[in-house]
Structures are given as structure tokens and as C-alpha cells.
Amino acid sequence: MMNAVSSIHCISANMSPAISLALYGRGWALHQLVPFVDKLLGLSGAMDSRMLGYNDFWLRLPIMLLALIFPTTKVLLIAHAINVASWAYWMPAVWDYMCWCAILELAFIAAALFGGGDTVVANRAISCLRPMLLILYVSAAFWKLTTGWFDSYVSCATVLMAELVSSPLFPPGAAMDDFLATMLLAAPALVAALEFAVPLGLWLSPHWGILLALVFHQTINLMPMTYAGGFSIAMCCRLIIYLPPSRIEAARKTSFSVALVCAAIVGMNLTLMWTVHGFIDTPGALFVLLTGLYGLAILNNPEPSKASTTAASAGVTLRGLTCGMAFFYAFLNPVLGIQSMGSSTMYGNVMQYGVGNHWILPTFLLQRHYAARSPAELASLDANASLAEWLDANMVDAFGGGIVRVESTTSKLMRQLAPAEATAQLPARAQRLLKEVGAGGHYFEMYAARNYFDRPLFNLTTSALHVENKQSSPPPGTPTLKYVQPVYEMRRVLALARERQEEFELTYTKIPTSLQTIREWRRFEGTQVTYRETAGGSFKCIVREQGSEKPCASDEIALLPPPPAWLQHILLPYPIPLVATDDVDNLYCST
């Protein structure tokens, strides 16, 4: 642990002195204002816009405006605290980049609480934020090291590359299509390399690392459907922490030739985004403008900065604690099984339960450990049980039960959340290219479906996920796919359906703990349970096994209470759709 802290200290010590608090604060405040401006202008193009409630307009908006105008320690401390509280309120239905932002904001709060004036706070905070953001970028790349990511049949990289090259930026033609097909097959290696290169560049040569990061995020901005403008602008506004004061000062004294080059870059990027989307929204416009400003700061190439003598950076303890917090979120949450959606595993084709498919680390260890035990143990716990027995039963309640295969359901709520197939929404050219390279071509939006579930002000159907292709659902007659999910998620969505007093039928199959692969889950035939809920909360539950029927036992999964509230505030697991015509053992991409 001490070696890790020492390494982190070296990373920060080798970097240039911190930017001013005002510059950091105004960049941060601009990012916070993006969804408000989008809403006021009637725009919601990005699929991952930060959620807004009505309370945000009278609570968050005023303090963000104040932080933009008066970016002092006290104002920014209050603004960051309110922002973290807002993020915690929306958990777990948040985007992964929002967790990144909240972790960085917590580090700023810790740095600000030690006081010392704006300059000292800025240096203390930036010396924590720089290595933390490196850790987060590395984790996003690290979780791409799966057999699923490097399997072009199912890989998110292949699907997303097909989407990117299906835009008007790549005119159709036989020669072009041959080149694009090669790009699709090479996409897993290319994208993973780029994602590892970004933090490496930010560490070794921050100004060139910024340019590399901007290129990476601009490719995301050019996605016709999976346009994650929220992620791109969140990182763009924070990349300023890697710019030394000398380069920022140089931007104010830029030469005409450099200004002309940067203006051309801004104009080109605006043109590209307009060509792809047919509009420019707030995150896209701000991203392009900041790209121009970063260009002015970087291309002037001033003399190297001298070490700061006016302010102390964060001590080893504070930096170690904040970087440890980032490391725990980025790597240990998925390993333990505390977080799935919202973690750094997004788009990694990570099989988080079952046998797992990451090359280095296991996933969902708590779920595996308690898989063979029933959450009903908590209800049957003896009143005189010891503290150890009580804790054990509560862990089983949270993580026990294993997995089930959902055969069918009439619940509108459950059908909205899973399998949530979005293949029909992919651009037609992307679907064709995927077929030509032999990819499975399926794409799901389970993460988006959960994040937009009961969400005020912004709507999933108005985001880029749906507006690019007017076909918002699979063609008529398309069978609903079966899918596998943890018992935890089954209990969670059943509780949601009951809260809405739905009348529905659900049929599922219990999967033995000995079966650990997607192929085994798809082929297994075993005990089925059919559960019907009618108006007024009355229900009927039947177990079908070897041609006979019997009533469900009291500890049947469908009759269990919801999982513990504390875990529901953190964990949204990915269901795994089962495509009957496939015989692959990796899971498809889901946003």
C-alpha cells in the first residue's frame, strides 16, 4: 500500500503546479450548467444527460451560477457538496461518469476543508484529482480485458464502430465498405489501445495526453445513436487540471497563426457534429469551444513551468485516501459485486456472474459465495441468534439465491427493463455492416432503460438512442428473448411492479449453481415457476416439475420480500439476454 501511495505521490510531484481555483471552478460550473441549458432550449440529444428534478432548478442551479461568477473556496465547497448530495439521491440510476465526477468532487471537498486560502486549496485539490482521474481512465480500459470485448461476434467495440462509421462522414461504396469492415474487426484492439493510451499520455506528457483524450471523446460525440455527450463534456471540463499555468497564460497571448488553426479546428468539429446529428446541443457546443481553448493553450508551446513555491500540494495521507477511494470504486466494486451498472465496466462485455470472463480479475464474488443459499434464511432467523449469525443471514439476504432464467412475462415494467433490445434502433447501414463481418449484431439498452425509468424532465425517446432511427422497438412478431438475472434483481423488479399495482404473469426457471456459462443457461431444462398477480395484490404461484404441478413453498423466489434497501441504493445488475439461435458463450453489448 505504501508503494502505491509513493507512486501516486511521484505522479503528482512530476506534474506542473496547479491551475488557479477560479479556472478550475469555472470549468466545473460550466459542466454543471449544461443539462439546465439543454432543458431550457428544449434539447436532449445526448443519451447520458445528467438527470434533473424540479428541485434542481431552485437548489442546484443558483449555486452553480454563483460558482461560475464567484469561484472561491467557500462557494465551490458548498456547490460541490450539493452536487454530491444530488448524485447520491439519484443513485443507483446514474451514469458511470457521474460516479467518476462524484468521487472527484468528494476529493475536492476533502481538500477544501483543510483551508489555507484559494491558492493552497487549488494546489491541494489538483494534486489529488490528477492521479484520481488517471485511475478512473485506466479502470475503464482495464475492464475491456475480457473475452467478450475481444470477440467481434458480440463485442461492444464492433457494434459501436459499426455505428460510428455508418454516419454520413463515411460515404458508401464498395472500397469504403471493405475498409470499414476491416475497421469493425480491428475495433476491439484499436479502442482498447486508445483507452489505455489516454491515461498513459496524461501521465507522461499531460498536454499531449489532453489532445489524445479530446480525440477519444470527440469520436464518442460523433456516434449517431450512442452519443454520450454527457461523459465527453464532463471529462473535457476536467482535463484542464492537467494544464500548467504557463500554458494557460500563453493562451492569452496567442499568435495569429495558432488562433487561426484553433478556429479551424472548432469550425471543423462543429461541422462534423452537425453533419452527424443535424443539430448542436449544449454539451457538444461547449466541448468544441473548450477544444479550441485547449488548443490555444497547448500549441503555443511556452517554456516548461517551474515548481510552485507558493502553495503546498496534498499530503501523502490525503492523496492516498482519495486515490484509494477511486481505486475501490473502479476495481473492487465490480469484483465484490456491490456495483454493476454505474461502474467502470460499462461497454466491457463483462460477464459479472457465472464463470466470469475477465482475463485478470473475478467478478461478483459475494454473489458466487452465497449463491447456494436462500435469502429466506433471514426471515427464519432465530430470535436468539448471535451477531455473527445475524450478519451472515443479512449477507445471504443481499447476495444469495443464485440466478434465474426469465422465460416470459406480461409485466410492462419488466419488459421495459429487460431485455430492452435496441438492435432495431441501430442505423440500417450499421446493421448491414455487422452482418457482413459475421457479427451477431444484437444491441441492448438495459442500462439506459433503468436510468430513464421514472425520470422527470428528460425522456429516453428524445435522446440520441431513439431519435436517430425512428424504429423505437423491434419489428412486429419479433419474439421476446429469454434472459438470466440474479435473484436479487428478480426481487427488485417484482417489488417495483407491485408498487405500481400491475396485473401480470411471470414464468422463470431456477438455474442450478453448478451451471456457470451462458451456453449452459440457455440449454438447461428444469423446474419452472409461474407466478400470477391480480388486482388487489392477490396471487397464484405454481411450480412445474417433471409434468406435475404443485403450489409454491413460502420461500419461493417470487414470494420473497424486496432485497435490502441499502444494496438497492448501489446495485443495478445487468441481465444477460439469451439469443436462442446462438451458441456463443459471451454476452452481447448493452448500453
Q: What is the DSSP letter of 504?
A: E
Name the β-bridge partners of 510.
Answer: 404
Of 230, 589, 235, 192, give the one whose Cα is nearest residue 425.
589
The Cα–Cα gap between 298 and 210 comes to 9
pLDDT, tens digit only, all 591 positions of the chain: 334 434 434 444 444 446 789 999 999 999 999 999 988 887 777 888 888 888 899 999 999 999 999 999 999 999 999 999 999 999 999 999 999 999 999 999 999 999 889 989 999 999 999 999 999 999 999 999 999 999 999 999 999 999 999 989 998 877 788 889 999 999 999 999 999 999 999 999 988 899 999 999 999 999 988 999 999 999 999 999 998 777 777 777 777 777 888 888 899 989 999 999 888 899 999 999 999 989 888 887 655 444 343 334 557 789 999 999 999 999 999 999 999 999 999 999 999 999 999 999 999 999 999 999 999 998 888 888 899 999 999 999 999 999 999 999 999 999 999 999 999 889 999 999 999 999 999 999 999 999 888 776 666 555 655 555 544 444 544 567 999 999 999 999 999 999 999 999 999 999 999 999 999 999 999 999 999 998 777 899 999 988 889 999 999 999 999 999 999 999 999 999 999 787 888 999 998
Question: What pLDDT does residue 256 have?
Answer: 76
* Neighbouring residues of 72: CB distance < 8 A, sequence distance ≥ 6: 21, 25, 118
pLDDT in tens, 229-253: 999 999 999 999 998 777 777 777 7
pLDDT of residue 141: 97
Pair 334, 143: CB distance under 8 Å:
yes
Separation of alpha carbons 6 and 551, rounded Å: 61
- HSE, side-chain direction, 13 A CA sphere, residue 125: 34
Q: How many CB atoms lie within 10 A of CB 574?
A: 25
| Residue 247 · residue 297 · CB < 8 Å | yes
pLDDT at 461: 59
Long-range contacts of 59-62 (CB under 8 A, 24+ apart): 59/86, 60/32, 60/86, 61/33, 61/36
Give how far Cα 53 sits from Cα of 35, 82, 520, Å.
11, 14, 43
Q: Note if the pTM is more than 0.95.
A: no
The CA-CA-CA angle for residues 150, 155, 157, to 5°, reads 90
How large a percentage of the chain has pLDDT more than 70?
Answer: 90
Predicted confidence at residue 467, as pLDDT, reads 54
Cell 490525503 belongs to residue? 318
How high is the pLDDT of residue 452? 86
pLDDT in tens, 196-239: 999 999 999 988 899 999 999 999 999 988 999 999 999 999 99
The DSSP string of 226-262 is: S--HHHHHHHHHHGGGGS-HHHHHHHTT--HHHHHHH
Using a 10 angstrom Cβ sphere, with 0-12 exposed, 13-18 middle and 19 or more buried, the burial of residue 94 is buried
Amino acid at 19: I
* pLDDT tens, residue by residue, 8-61: 344 444 444 467 899 999 999 999 999 999 888 877 778 888 888 888 999 999
Residue 343: CB atoms within 10 A of its CB come to 28
